[in-house]
Amino acid sequence: MKQGNLNRHNDHSTRLSDYGPEPFVVNINSVTGKNSNYRTALWTGMYLQLTLMSIPVGEEIGLEVHPNTDQYIRIESGAGMVQMGSSKDKLNYQKQVRENDGIFVPAGTWHNVVNIGRSSMKISSVYAPPHHPHGTVQKTKAEADAEENHY
């Protein structure tokens, strides 16, 4: 294969929109740092979805559970506290997280991530299967919460 035939995305010019389900290569750290929205779906396929998140200082993802979806959350930058458990009232797993940490959330596990750092926490999150509609962009947590009631 000739190098000239490769479709290489330039990370500096990649628009933050949903590229799925087409093949796609991107520097995930670069685009996560670029994202200023609470949530932006970057790639949605049939069985997997990647979203980017920006959590302001002192704010959180919010306590939630995905009954049929496993989730992987990667802290690209910033610092936080993750809590997980079998019910809203039993969050018996708690750890501080920081840049380059990965959080594995099994389906049916209640979880929350709180930004305890001094700058916006930048996160990439993989859902399997997808959890949000293709092309989701939510500028704020309030917007995300309002939309969550619709699906």
Q: Residue 88 class from Cβ within 10 Å (0-12 exposed, 13-18 middle, 19+ buried)?
A: exposed
d(CA 132, CA 71): 12
Q: Residue 18 class from Cβ within 10 Å (0-12 exposed, 13-18 middle, 19+ buried)?
A: buried
CB 107 within 8 A of CB 16: no
Q: Give pLDDT tens digits for 83-109.
A: 999 999 999 999 999 999 999 999 999
Specify the pTM: 0.87
Domains of the chain: 18-132 (2.60.120.10)
Q: Which residues of the chain have pLDDT under 50?
A: 1-12
Q: What's the confidence (pLDDT) of residue 13?
A: 57
Q: What's the confidence (pLDDT) of residue 79?
A: 98
Query: What b/e string do you get for 21-57 counting C-beta neighbours within 10 Å, with b at 16 or more?
Result: eeeeebeebebbbbbebbbbbbbbbeebbbbbbbbee
Residue 123 CB contacts under 8 Å (≥ 6 apart), including other chains: 32, 52, 53, 54, 55, 73, 74, 75, 76, 113
Q: What's the confidence (pLDDT) of residue 147?
A: 84
Q: What's the confidence (pLDDT) of residue 150?
A: 57
